[in-house]
Amino acid sequence: MEFEPLKELLERFSFNSRSLGVSLSACTLPETGMATFTLEEGKMEFGMGLHGEAGIKKVDIMTADETAVTILDLLIADLPFKSGDEVIALVNGYGSTTRMEMFIVMKKIHEYLAEKNMSIYASELGEFCTSQEMAGISISLIKIDKEIKKYYDMAADSPGYVKMAKK
Protein backbone atom coordinates (compact mmCIF):
# COMPACT_ATOMS: atom_id res chain seq x y z
CA MET A 1 0.00 0.00 0.00
CA GLU A 2 1.30 3.45 -0.87
CA PHE A 3 1.70 6.07 1.84
CA GLU A 4 -1.13 8.48 0.88
CA PRO A 5 -3.92 5.87 0.74
CA LEU A 6 -2.71 4.42 4.04
CA LYS A 7 -2.64 7.89 5.59
CA GLU A 8 -6.19 8.56 4.35
CA LEU A 9 -7.43 5.25 5.76
CA LEU A 10 -5.85 5.87 9.18
CA GLU A 11 -7.19 9.44 9.30
CA ARG A 12 -10.70 8.21 8.44
CA PHE A 13 -10.45 5.50 11.11
CA SER A 14 -9.23 8.03 13.68
CA PHE A 15 -11.86 10.63 12.79
CA ASN A 16 -14.61 8.00 13.09
CA SER A 17 -13.47 6.83 16.54
CA ARG A 18 -14.60 8.22 19.86
CA SER A 19 -13.60 7.13 23.39
CA LEU A 20 -14.55 8.25 26.86
CA GLY A 21 -13.78 6.78 30.23
CA VAL A 22 -14.93 6.92 33.80
CA SER A 23 -12.83 6.40 36.91
CA LEU A 24 -13.92 5.22 40.32
CA SER A 25 -10.48 5.26 41.95
CA ALA A 26 -6.96 6.47 41.46
CA CYS A 27 -4.10 4.52 40.02
CA THR A 28 -0.94 4.00 42.04
CA LEU A 29 2.70 4.54 41.21
CA PRO A 30 4.62 1.23 41.10
CA GLU A 31 7.70 2.70 42.80
CA THR A 32 5.89 4.17 45.80
CA GLY A 33 2.43 2.61 45.91
CA MET A 34 1.07 6.15 46.30
CA ALA A 35 -2.14 7.23 44.58
CA THR A 36 -1.69 9.69 41.71
CA PHE A 37 -4.84 11.66 42.65
CA THR A 38 -7.80 11.48 45.01
CA LEU A 39 -11.42 10.85 44.24
CA GLU A 40 -13.92 11.30 47.04
CA GLU A 41 -15.67 8.20 48.40
CA GLY A 42 -18.93 7.55 46.55
CA LYS A 43 -17.89 9.61 43.51
CA MET A 44 -16.89 8.82 39.95
CA GLU A 45 -15.36 11.07 37.32
CA PHE A 46 -16.24 11.03 33.62
CA GLY A 47 -13.51 11.85 31.14
CA MET A 48 -10.67 11.27 33.58
CA GLY A 49 -7.46 10.18 31.95
CA LEU A 50 -5.64 6.98 32.81
CA HIS A 51 -2.95 8.88 34.67
CA GLY A 52 -5.18 11.24 36.63
CA GLU A 53 -5.79 13.92 34.01
CA ALA A 54 -8.85 15.94 34.98
CA GLY A 55 -12.20 14.75 33.71
CA ILE A 56 -15.28 16.63 32.55
CA LYS A 57 -17.58 15.98 35.52
CA LYS A 58 -17.71 14.30 38.93
CA VAL A 59 -20.93 12.61 39.93
CA ASP A 60 -22.26 10.28 42.58
CA ILE A 61 -21.56 6.65 41.72
CA MET A 62 -24.05 5.37 39.13
CA THR A 63 -25.06 1.87 38.14
CA ALA A 64 -23.14 0.17 35.33
CA ASP A 65 -26.11 0.64 32.99
CA GLU A 66 -26.47 4.35 33.84
CA THR A 67 -22.71 4.80 33.38
CA ALA A 68 -22.76 3.10 29.97
CA VAL A 69 -25.71 5.21 28.76
CA THR A 70 -24.08 8.43 29.97
CA ILE A 71 -20.86 7.62 28.10
CA LEU A 72 -22.70 6.46 24.97
CA ASP A 73 -24.82 9.63 24.84
CA LEU A 74 -21.66 11.75 24.98
CA LEU A 75 -19.90 9.65 22.31
CA ILE A 76 -22.90 9.56 19.98
CA ALA A 77 -23.37 13.33 20.18
CA ASP A 78 -19.67 14.05 19.63
CA LEU A 79 -19.12 12.33 16.26
CA PRO A 80 -22.14 12.44 15.69
CA PHE A 81 -23.08 8.80 15.25
CA LYS A 82 -26.52 8.28 13.74
CA SER A 83 -29.20 5.70 13.09
CA GLY A 84 -28.02 3.09 10.61
CA ASP A 85 -24.31 3.39 11.50
CA GLU A 86 -22.32 0.21 11.94
CA VAL A 87 -19.70 0.28 14.70
CA ILE A 88 -17.08 -1.64 16.57
CA ALA A 89 -17.72 -1.35 20.32
CA LEU A 90 -14.80 -1.64 22.72
CA VAL A 91 -14.82 -1.77 26.51
CA ASN A 92 -11.43 -1.26 28.15
CA GLY A 93 -10.89 -2.02 31.83
CA TYR A 94 -8.52 0.35 33.64
CA GLY A 95 -6.82 -2.29 35.79
CA SER A 96 -8.98 -3.32 38.73
CA THR A 97 -12.34 -3.52 36.98
CA THR A 98 -13.53 -7.12 36.75
CA ARG A 99 -14.42 -8.82 33.48
CA MET A 100 -17.94 -9.37 34.86
CA GLU A 101 -18.35 -5.61 35.30
CA MET A 102 -17.07 -5.03 31.76
CA PHE A 103 -19.53 -7.64 30.40
CA ILE A 104 -22.41 -5.84 32.17
CA VAL A 105 -21.38 -2.60 30.45
CA MET A 106 -21.03 -4.35 27.07
CA LYS A 107 -24.51 -5.86 27.43
CA LYS A 108 -25.95 -2.38 27.95
CA ILE A 109 -23.98 -1.05 24.96
CA HIS A 110 -25.61 -3.71 22.74
CA GLU A 111 -29.10 -2.95 24.09
CA TYR A 112 -28.73 0.83 23.87
CA LEU A 113 -27.23 0.95 20.38
CA ALA A 114 -29.99 -1.39 19.14
CA GLU A 115 -32.52 1.16 20.49
CA LYS A 116 -30.66 3.82 18.46
CA ASN A 117 -30.80 1.59 15.34
CA MET A 118 -27.02 1.29 15.27
CA SER A 119 -25.55 -2.14 14.58
CA ILE A 120 -22.47 -3.57 16.24
CA TYR A 121 -20.18 -5.29 13.75
CA ALA A 122 -17.81 -6.51 16.46
CA SER A 123 -17.30 -6.21 20.20
CA GLU A 124 -13.94 -6.03 21.97
CA LEU A 125 -13.63 -6.35 25.73
CA GLY A 126 -10.53 -6.49 27.88
CA GLU A 127 -7.69 -4.59 29.47
CA PHE A 128 -6.03 -2.95 26.48
CA CYS A 129 -4.70 0.13 28.29
CA THR A 130 -4.51 0.10 32.08
CA SER A 131 -3.17 1.96 35.09
CA GLN A 132 -2.07 0.09 38.17
CA GLU A 133 -5.02 -0.58 40.51
CA MET A 134 -7.31 1.95 38.82
CA ALA A 135 -11.03 1.17 38.87
CA GLY A 136 -13.00 2.25 35.84
CA ILE A 137 -13.60 1.65 32.17
CA SER A 138 -13.54 3.41 28.85
CA ILE A 139 -15.92 2.83 25.97
CA SER A 140 -14.84 3.33 22.38
CA LEU A 141 -17.09 3.38 19.34
CA ILE A 142 -15.59 3.21 15.86
CA LYS A 143 -17.87 3.87 12.89
CA ILE A 144 -16.81 1.50 10.15
CA ASP A 145 -17.13 1.19 6.41
CA LYS A 146 -16.32 -1.58 3.92
CA GLU A 147 -12.60 -0.78 3.76
CA ILE A 148 -12.14 -0.49 7.53
CA LYS A 149 -13.97 -3.84 7.93
CA LYS A 150 -11.56 -5.44 5.48
CA TYR A 151 -8.56 -4.50 7.62
CA TYR A 152 -10.32 -5.12 10.95
CA ASP A 153 -11.17 -8.65 9.81
CA MET A 154 -7.49 -9.52 9.32
CA ALA A 155 -5.54 -11.45 11.94
CA ALA A 156 -3.60 -9.49 14.54
CA ASP A 157 -0.85 -10.76 16.82
CA SER A 158 0.91 -8.37 19.18
CA PRO A 159 1.88 -8.42 22.86
CA GLY A 160 -1.32 -6.57 23.86
CA TYR A 161 -3.84 -7.86 21.31
CA VAL A 162 -4.40 -11.11 19.45
CA LYS A 163 -7.24 -11.82 17.03
CA MET A 164 -7.91 -14.54 14.49
CA ALA A 165 -8.80 -13.51 10.95
CA LYS A 166 -12.51 -13.34 10.23
CA LYS A 167 -13.50 -15.63 7.38
Q: Which of 51, 57, 150, 166 is catalytic?
A: 51
* Residue 110 designated active-site: no
Say if CB 91 and CB 120 are below 8 A apart: no
Task: Give the ranges where 49-98 is alpha helix by DSSP (H).
Answer: 64-78
Q: Is 34 helix (H, G, I), strand (E, B) or coil?
A: coil
Q: Which DSSP category does 133 fall into?
A: T
Say if CB 125 and CB 14 are below 8 A apart: no
- Which residues touch 81 (CB under 8 Å, ≥6 apart)? 18, 75, 87, 116, 118, 141, 143
Cα separation, 122 vs 89, whole angstroms: 6
Q: Tell me the catalytic residues.
A: 51
